[in-house]
Amino acid sequence: MSTVKGLRTVVIAGILGTGLALYAGAASAQGFSTERPGSILIFPKVINNGQDTRIQITNTSNSMRNAHCFYTNGASFNGQPLWQVTDFDLVLTRQQPTSWTASAGRPVNPQDSQTGLDPGLIPPVADGFTGSLLCVEVDVGGAPVGSNSLIGTATVGTIEGPGIGATNVEGQYNAVAIAACNDPQGACGASGGAIDTDNVLSLDNVEYAACPGGSYLNFVSEGIGEDPILSGLGNGPGIVSSNLTMIPCGADFENLVPVSTTLNGQVRDEFELRSSISQFDIDCFLTASLDEPLFGGAFNRPTTFGSGIITPLSAPGNVPGIGVVTSLWTAADGTSDTAITNLHFCTDEAADCTTVNSEIRLPNFR
Amino acid sequence: MTREGTERSDEMRRVNANGSASQLRLVTLAAAALVMLGTVASARAAESDYVAGYVVLPKVVVHTTGGTPAVLAGGQAVDTLIQITNTNQTDAINVDCWWVNANSHCGTDTGPICNSNADCSPGLQCVPGWAVLDFTMTLTPGQPIGFGAASGLGNLPCDPIFPGPGCTGNSSGNIRPVPEDPFRGELKCVQVDDNDNPVEANDLKVEATIISTTVGVGGSTTAATYNGIGFEATATAAGDGPLCLGSLPPGSPAGSVCTGTYAPCPNILHMEHPFDTPTLSTELVLVPCSEDLGEPSNSADFSVTAQMLVYNEFEQRFSTSSRVQCYQSTRLSDIDTRPGTADDAFSVFSAGVQGTAVGQTRIRGVRGPDGRLGYGLIGVGCSSYGPAGSAPLATTAFNLQNAGGFREEGDAVYYTDFPNQGP
């Protein structure tokens, strides 16, 4: 009988295991999204340096929601990241959209020109600010909650108006939303569980979704000369240059220690020629032109177009980057515009995109 | 009454056996439920930030100096750069694509291209059109390509007649340019095997950049990028049925089989946007998830009602609706008013009406009579900066977000088996 029982146990375990594995495999690694609401929003590129950034956040639920947000200044001084953090609170009624510009913030003043329900006092960022914004869904007391209600977009640029020499550039991207797992039927799959109320938001597919293992990007090769598309439209030869903005997937707002990570990757051009992206570090924030020596010339390809995968260097503590690419299209007469692209998330293990656990530590006020 | 040990033992064996059988049945049911839950959980709605097996670019526009009519000096020429990547680093993939031409024509589908009756000779109506032009390609491992919609790509890099130093295999294909200039419409691409059957693989990454510039000098240049909307492939089956987005639509003919099953369409599209002003307007492009690429007339006669809820920053809610027939590209302020800028001030999408700078709009395809096509919608948004009636000074494009899970009623994309390469 013990043998039969043992065999039965094995069979039962096998059946359950198959079901669980299939379920877990089916629903894993989809908790990061630029299209679905989440409980953490990340805006990797926020600037106030001649160009401004308009942030828009919406509460997509039918209940009031609170959020605690952190501007992080990504500037460096003498090679050291400043890691200056400014935080503020938002209160959004059901289905309420709200917006503000980074340069002006938003006061709580029903009499001002910024009509609508003021979501809270939002400070402006300083002139020259280049950094990121992160917002976490919390309860009234500041403890994290996992309602997955927040969605956001950012529009970066400036409009000076018509006229020779005027700068008119605008680009828009969707905020990266990280889902709270909540339960095994949630965005994180079978490992998903309830979030706890401490100040450590674990991005581990238990509390919140884990970080995707990498990012795909497509680009027009740097230094290729004329871009064939813009150049063919009748305004002379046009050129394209692109800039990558990335922040580490993770943050430590409690100890104010900038999260650093080392990334690398590879690039292929249209003739399948491969090139490695040199290891490069992100100390809290990175913004760099694709033709900078930092990338080892990987994006200077002999063909017009290329694609790349950026992944964290396989070493303890390294986390993937989250970012956007900004491309500046300039025609022969000097007129130009920018286009910002959300990077695709890479979850293909065959491409070395293994999900990585990380965390966001909030200041512990309780 | 005392029972014999053997009898008691027999009874115990029967009870245990029955209990074990019940236990096994319960476990099997639990496992099956987990599998089903897994299937449901894996049916995430289409999205634009992961690679996929079927990808749609809802907005492709072309109007160049070579068009009919041509863009003249001082006018704004536009083209769409398409970038397609095979993200599979080890295997080549085959891709079948379709240009979906949504141009309207005066009188007949060979008449002059028009936007409204005012563009046509007296007595002729501007008739909406819907036509399909297909092409196919093979991409080598990890290969990216780029081409303008206006020019296509005659020979792919790594094609035997266009070899390169790093090519490990042979690409192939002839990417045909859009069939008309000017052009407005979509691009749809699906990953297939050597026999043009859908495969359960997700290696496609597609993005579009809409570029415009003033012909000559002294105007403006605009660029706006959005990611292709990707549908994850989850299953395939033999047969000649459609691609199913989620499942077969409820009214599908009996015996229909999905040759490819993909992620379902979003249930509710969500768009964050500024309300329209005299110097800033947003265009909404919506296309049905379901289409008949094999018999375009079926799609031309099919429409989906888009129900819209608009919220401003005061949490006030308005509603409106629109009819999406094959393809809809509309300024927000033209959705509920007459086309043109004259009535913009009266639109629920106007900042003057709403009283706030920004809002959110939730868009849902309303389910109609059950048929072989479903009622899902996908789309993108584009904002234009500059005085109304003039060429824009700058533009942005953005993917619509998904606020309502996925559609439980399925959608279907019917297509022909072998794309016609043609000259």
* pLDDT tens-digit readout, B200-233: 999 999 999 999 999 987 789 999 999 999 999 9
Tokens of B213: 């510039």
In Å, how far are B94, B123, B157, B259 from B192, measured between CA atoms?
5, 46, 20, 11
pLDDT on residue A351: 86
Asked if pLDDT for residue B375 goes beyond 60, the answer is yes
Helix (H, G, I), strand (E, B) or coil at A301: coil
* Exposure on the CB side of residue B171, measured as CA atoms within 13 A: 30
Instruction: Tell me the chain A residues in contact with residue B219 when contact means C-beta distances shorter than 8 Å.
Output: 235, 333, 335
The dihedral of CA B233, B238, B243, B249: what is its sign?
A: negative
Cβ proximity of A147 and A59 under 8 Å: no
Binned at pLDDT 50, 70 and 90, residue B40 comes out as very low
Instruction: Give A270-289 as a DSSP string.
Output: TT--EEEEEEEEEESBEEEE
- Please state the rounded mean pLDDT for residues B133-156: 94
Put residue A217 in one of left, alpha, beta given phi > 0 → left and psi -120 to 50 → alpha: beta
Rounded Cα distance, A323 and A176, in Å:
9
Cβ proximity of A12 and B27 under 8 Å: yes
Asked if pLDDT for residue B31 goes beyond 50, the answer is no
So what's the ipTM on this one? 0.91
- Comparison of pLDDT for A202 and A19, the residue scoring more: A202
Please state, as a whole number, how many other Cβ atoms lie within 10 Å of the Cβ of residue A109: 10
Q: Residues of chain B with pLDDT > 90: what percent?
A: 65
Strands B260-262 and B243-245 turn out to be parallel
Asked if pLDDT for residue A317 goes beyond 80, the answer is yes
Q: What residues does each domain of chain B span?
A: 45-414
| Cα of A123 vs its chain's centroid, Å | 22
pLDDT on residue B10: 42
- Please state the rounded mean pLDDT for residues A261-267: 94
pLDDT on residue A365: 64
Q: Residues of chain A with pLDDT > 70: what percent?
A: 92
Taking alpha carbons only, the member of B214, B173, B222, B262 closest to residue B72 is: B214
- Select from B28, B283, B396 the residue whose CB has the most chain A CBs within 10 Å, as the one to mutate to test that interface: B396
Binned at pLDDT 50, 70 and 90, residue B101 comes out as very high
- Please state the rounded mean pLDDT for residues B65-72: 93
Encoded amino acid at B223, one letter: A
Strands B328-331 and A32-33 turn out to be unpaired
Instruction: Tell me the chain A residues in contact with residue B390 when contact means C-beta distances shorter than 8 Å.
Output: 162
B141 → closest Cβ in A16, A169, A272: A272
Return the exposure string of A264-277: e unless at least 16 CB atoms fall within 10 Å of the residue's CB, then b: bbbbbbbbbbebeb
pLDDT on residue B405: 86
Cβ proximity of B373 and B411 under 8 Å: yes
Asked if pLDDT for residue B23 goes beyond 60, the answer is no
Rounded to the nearest 10 degrees, the angle between the axes of helix B5-42 and helix A2-27 is 10
Instruction: Tell me the chain B residues in contact with residue A117 when contact means C-beta distances shorter than 8 Å.
Output: 313-315
Rounded Cα distance, B153 and B93, in Å:
17
Instruction: Tell me the chain B residues in contact with residue A22 when contact means C-beta distances shorter than 8 Å.
Output: 34-35, 38
pLDDT on residue A19: 40
Residue A5 main-chain phi, psi, to 5 deg: -60, -45
For residue A141, count CB atoms less than 10 angstroms from its CB and return exposed for 0-12, middle for 13-18, buried for 19 or more.
exposed
Rounded Cα distance, B127 and B400, in Å:
28
Taking alpha carbons only, the member of B245, B215, B249 closest to residue B232 is: B245
Report chain B's C-alpha Rg in angstroms. 26
- Which residue has tokens 């989850």? B234
pLDDT on residue B165: 81
Q: Residues of chain A with pLDDT > 90: what percent?
A: 75
Cβ proximity of A320 and A213 under 8 Å: yes
Rounded Cα distance, A184 and A192, in Å:
5
Asked if pLDDT for residue A295 goes beyond 50, the answer is yes
Quick one: closest CA in A to B31, which residue? Answer: A19
The 3-class SS string of chain A reads CHHHHHHHHHHHHHHHHHHHHHHHHHHCCCCEECCCCECEEEEEEEEECCCEEEEEEEECCCCCEEEEEEEEECCEECCEECCEEEEEEEEECCCCEEEEECCCEECCCCCCCCCCCCCCCECCCCCCEEEEEEEEEECCCCCECCCCCEEEEEEEEEECCCCCCCCEEEEEEECEEECECCCCCCCCHHHCCCCCCCCEEEECCCCECCECCEEEEEEECCCCCCEHHHHCCCCCCEEEEEEEEEEECCEECCCCCCCEEEEEEEEEECCCCEEEEEEEEEECEEEEECCCHHHCCCCCCCCCEEEEEEEECCCCCCCCEEEEEEEEEECCCCCEEEEEEECEEECCHHHCCCCECEEEECCCCC
Contacts of A190 (CB under 8 A, 6+ apart): A20, A23, A24, A27, A28, A184
Record: contact B24-A12, CB cut-off 8 A: yes
Asked if pLDDT for residue B79 goes beyond 90, the answer is yes
Quick one: closest CA in B to A9, which residue? Answer: B24
Q: Examine residue B69 and say whether the peptide bond preceding it is cis (omega within 30 degrees of 0).
A: yes
User: What is the largest distance, in Å, between two alpha-carbon atoms of chain B?
Assistant: 109
Rounded Cα distance, A84 and A66, in Å:
23
B158 → closest Cβ in A94, A238, A272: A272
Q: Residues of chain B with pLDDT > 70: what percent?
A: 88
Encoded amino acid at B308, one letter: M
B222 → closest Cβ in A332, A337, A340: A337
- Comparison of pLDDT for A316 and B178, the residue scoring more: B178
B217 → closest Cβ in A117, A333, A348: A333
Rounded Cα distance, B348 and B370, in Å:
32
Q: Dump pLDDT digits (tens) for A40-77.
A: 999 999 999 999 999 999 999 999 999 999 999 998 78
- Select from A7, A8, A36, A147 the residue whose CB has the most chain B CBs within 10 Å, as the one to mutate to test that interface: A36
| Cα of B14 vs its chain's centroid, Å | 59
Instruction: Tell me the chain A residues in contact with residue B215 when contact means C-beta distances shorter than 8 Å.
Output: 233-235
Q: What is the mean pLDDT of chain A?
A: 89
Cβ proximity of B59 and B382 under 8 Å: yes
Rounded Cα distance, B119 and B125, in Å:
9
Tokens of A272: 């399948």
Contacts of B327 (CB under 8 A, 6+ apart): B58, B100, B102, B130, B184, B185, B186, B285, B286, B287
Asked if pLDDT for residue B58 goes beyond 80, the answer is yes
- Comparison of pLDDT for B222 and B297, the residue scoring more: B222
Encoded amino acid at B82, one letter: I
Quick one: closest CA in B to A62, which residue? Answer: B315
B144 → closest Cβ in A230, A268, A345: A268
Instruction: Tell me the chain B residues in contact with residue A329 when contact means C-beta distances shorter than 8 Å.
Output: 209, 211, 221, 223
Q: Dump pLDDT digits (tens) for A101-145.
A: 999 999 999 888 899 999 999 999 999 999 999 999 999 999 999
B277 touching chain A per CB within 8 A: no
pLDDT on residue B170: 86
Quick one: closest CA in A to B32, which residue? Answer: A19
Record: contact B37-A23, CB cut-off 8 A: yes
pLDDT on residue B421: 43
- Which residue has tokens 């960022």? A125
pLDDT on residue A20: 40
Asked if pLDDT for residue B25 goes beyond 70, the answer is no
Q: Dump pLDDT digits (tens) for A136-187.
A: 999 999 999 999 999 999 999 999 988 878 899 999 999 999 999 999 988 8
Binned at pLDDT 50, 70 and 90, residue A258 comes out as confident
Cβ proximity of A45 and A326 under 8 Å: yes
Contacts across the A-B interface (CB distance below 8 Å): 328
pLDDT on residue B8: 39
Asked if pLDDT for residue B254 goes beyond 70, the answer is yes
Q: Dump pLDDT digits (tens) for A201-254.
A: 999 999 999 999 999 999 999 988 888 899 999 988 999 999 999 999 999 999
| Cα of A144 vs its chain's centroid, Å | 19
Asked if pLDDT for residue A28 goes beyond 90, the answer is no
Adjacent-strand bridge partners of A302: none
Asked if pLDDT for residue B388 goes beyond 90, the answer is no
Instruction: Tell me the chain A residues in contact with residue B49 when contact means C-beta distances shorter than 8 Å.
Output: 32-35, 342-345
Helix (H, G, I), strand (E, B) or coil at B91: coil
- DSSP letter, residue B177: P
B200 touching chain A per CB within 8 A: no
Binned at pLDDT 50, 70 and 90, residue B2 comes out as very low
Cβ proximity of B384 and B102 under 8 Å: no
pLDDT on residue B166: 83
Encoded amino acid at B227, one letter: N
Secondary structure element (H or E) that encloses residue B234, with its range = strand B233-236
Cβ proximity of B232 and B201 under 8 Å: no
pLDDT on residue B19: 47
Q: Dump pLDDT digits (tens) for B133-144.
A: 999 999 999 999
pLDDT on residue A356: 94
Asked if pLDDT for residue B296 goes beyond 90, the answer is no
Asked if pLDDT for residue B41 goes beyond 60, the answer is no
